[in-house]
Amino acid sequence: MKIKKYWWVLILIQLTLLVVIINGKFAVSNDRPSLVYREDFREIPAALPITQEHISHEYLMLNLYGSAKESLKKSHHENIVNDPYYLWSGRCSSNWAATFSHRQFLVDLRGVAKIRWRTKQSGFRRLHILLKLEDGTWLVSDRTQGASEDWKIGEFNLMDLEWYALSMETITEREKVSSVDLSRVDEIGITDLMRGGSSSASSRLDWIEVYGKPVERFNS
């Protein structure tokens, strides 16, 4: 009888440990980043250049870079059915970049953080993710969204990407960065590292979503 009693105690202990392990796994898997923000440009007439007026999110700032930044266009065609309102690089005479920054907080993009967007590239254009860290470091992703005949939704897991330093004077990539800290990201955006070539050689961004964790700004 004592042996049977001890066996039941051992089984109870094992079941308890199993429950703890399972609950721990669920806790980790459920600790996923949420949607920090989505920018889908306002449905107002096309304009050159695109400005803050075209940003739909109340707390997002639009930042444009490069000597051709005044040529980044907010585009839309009334004669095309379901044509979105989007950022277009076709008029840029040199390399360009565009980013978004939240007025109230930075973004933690560690772990399983991700970025989603709807884009359409043409020619040899490949759209890269662009990050500015709180300390002023600029990074550009190795992976890209390539050309397509129609609008395409892309999704990037940040932990899968490799990063290169970026010269903001010329908007060109530099050396590969072996270790990055994405715990405090200030600006998140796009570049194709190329000049525009009208409709046949350009990049387009319809909307962008950032999944991560908001982080308080020290100076706020």
Contact 165, 139 (CB under 8 A): yes
**Helices within 62-216 (DSSP H only):** none
Segment holding 213, helix H or strand E: strand 204-216
pTM for this predicted structure: 0.85
- pLDDT score, position 202: 98
Contacts of 128 by beta carbon, 8 Å cutoff, 6+ apart: 140, 141, 143, 144, 190, 191, 192, 193
From first to last of its 220 residues, the chain has per-residue pLDDT tens of 555 555 565 555 565 555 444 454 444 445 789 999 999 999 999 999 999 999 999 999 999 999 999 999 999 999 999 999 999 999 999 999 999 999 999 999 999 999 999 999 999 999 999 999 999 999 999 999 999 999 999 999 999 999 999 999 999 999 999 999 999 999 999 999 999 999 999 999 999 999 999 999 876 4
Question: Residue 1: how many CB atoms within 10 A of its CB?
Answer: 5
Q: Please report the pLDDT score of residue 32 as a whole number.
A: 83
In angstroms, the CA 138 to CA 154 distance is: 22
Give dist(CA 35, CA 146) in Å, integer: 24
Instruction: State residue 100's pLDDT score.
Output: 98
